[in-house]
Amino acid sequence: MPAGPRRLRNLLVVAFVIYIADLLTKIAAVHYIDPFDPISIVGDTVTLTLIRNPGAAFSMATGMTWVLTLVAIGVVIGVIKVGRKLRSVWWALGLGLVLGGALGNLTDRLFRSPGPLQGHVVDFVSVGWWPVFNVADSAIVCGAILLVALTVFGIEPDGSRANSGDAAKSADAADPENTQDTESGTDRKEKRQ
């Protein structure tokens, strides 16, 4: 199987695992955690605290639920479009994390109360001063960090290094044997032979 379809499959498997983990943990959180009685994991530092979040990841932009829903739909479409051209396993992992997380929170926005496009996302993990979050939020953040790192290190979605073609062109331009004669359009090397 060519690398492209394999990488798309990798992306979809990662997204599916994240989506199912997010869905199951949210079902468990709604069923077992009392919103008024957090469960202590490590003293008061790490608790399971059930909240319904109308905003973005980590409870930001709480008044823009429908906009966030449309953005999530756009992210899903964009990731799938880019995923069809992938050759890098690392890009597949990063995009799979983002896709799985986006689908997890999008499911809440579409199907939880108060209604379609306005549903509140279930968040339940509280760590110290950090805002309450869920598996989907964690996956989106980890995926985004990985994608930024790949970009910083010049690794393209197709697996190549950024500017590797430019480096080869500049090396050719610096070699007087490989320059073109502008008048005739032929290589000087060919003229000498």
The whole-number pLDDT of residue 168 equals: 43
Enter the pTM of the model.
0.79
**Phi and psi dihedrals of 30, rounded to 5?**
-65, -35
The whole-number pLDDT of residue 115 equals: 82
How many Å apart are CA 187 and CA 189, to the nearest integer? 5
Q: Which of 34, 37, 108, 137 is catalytic?
A: 137
- The neighbouring-strand residues paired with 127 are 46
Q: Which of 37, 123, 158, 187 is catalytic?
A: 123
By the 10 Å C-beta count (0-12 exposed, 13-18 middle, 19+ buried), 38 is classed as: middle
Query: Could you tell me how many residues make up the chain?
Result: 193
**Within the chain, which residues score under 50 in pLDDT?**
167-179, 182-183, 187-193
The whole-number pLDDT of residue 178 equals: 45
The whole-number pLDDT of residue 64 equals: 74
Q: What is the SS3 assignment for 122?
A: strand
DSSP string covering 27-61:
HHHHHH-BTTBPEEEETTTEEEEEEEE-SSGGG--
The whole-number pLDDT of residue 157 equals: 93
The whole-number pLDDT of residue 164 equals: 60
The whole-number pLDDT of residue 75 equals: 92
172 catalytic? Reply is: no
The whole-number pLDDT of residue 163 equals: 75
For the chain, report the end-to-end CA distance as a whole number of angstroms: 45
The whole-number pLDDT of residue 159 equals: 87
44 catalytic? Reply is: no
Smallest CA-to-CA distance from 54 within 98, 96, 117, 1 is with: 117
